[in-house]
Amino acid sequence: MELDDLKAGWEKETDYQIGSGRKDISQLQFMLHNKAGDMLTRIRKRYEMIISCLLFSVMISILVHPIISDDFNYPGSASGFVKGMMLYLLVLLFYWLKLVNINNISLSDQIRERLEDMLKWQKRSLRLEAGFIVLAFVGGPLVSRFVYHGRGFTDLDDIGVRIAVPAGLILMSIILYIIIKRHRRNILELQGYLAEYTERGN
């Protein structure tokens, strides 16, 4: 009789532990699903803010440039304005495509696959965004010098070039640092979620 009571108690305790474990896993999956959704919302808002700032900068440039260039009568002001607008539009197009991509991103309903897909997307996004910034800062001036002005590397000792090149490199480094820092934070966060799910899910 005592043996039957012990066996019944053990089975009851085992069933309770199994049920409790399943409940914990469900709660963990729900929590990680929400955190992953919150991260996508944060990224989406960041791209929307970047696009808004770019549009605002375009409007300010359109209003201010004619004033500081004396209605484009200053030598080179018209071509400089056109090149500036082309650069603005290029950057605007890049971030608009990234916003469209994140709005249309398709993720698995399984939490592990969802987190792994987001982690891959974040790493790819980091490479694309960093590569685009380097291309814009390096390729833009090179195209301008070789295609529009035909100067090549003939006037590298000019004081304007000596100031512009270091300033451009410093600005590029700052932007890259911000981009890498933000992406790295998201990558580490996703890796933490995956590690937590692996530890508690198994």
Name every residue whose Cβ is closer than 8 Å to that of residue 155 and which is 6 or more positions away in sequence: 161
Dihedral sign, CA of 78, 84, 88, 91?
positive
Tokens for 138? 């390096």
Q: Classify residue 118 as exposed, middle or buried by CB count within 10 Å of its CB (0-12, 13-18, 19+).
A: buried
CB atoms within 10 A of CB 137: 16
Does the reported pTM lie above 0.75? no
Tokens 């991260």 belong to 39
Name every residue whose Cβ is closer than 8 Å to that of residue 122 and which is 6 or more positions away in sequence: 183, 186, 187, 190
Cα–Cα distance, 25 to 86 (Å, whole number): 52
Cα–Cα distance, 170 to 131 (Å, whole number): 16
- Maximal CA-CA distance, the chain: 106
- Residue-by-residue pLDDT tens, the chain, 202 positions: 444 543 454 445 444 444 444 456 677 677 777 787 888 888 899 999 989 988 888 888 777 766 666 565 655 556 667 777 787 888 899 999 998 988 887 777 777 888 888 889 999 999 999 999 888 887 766 666 665 555 555 655 666 556 767 777 888 899 899 999 999 999 998 888 888 777 765 5
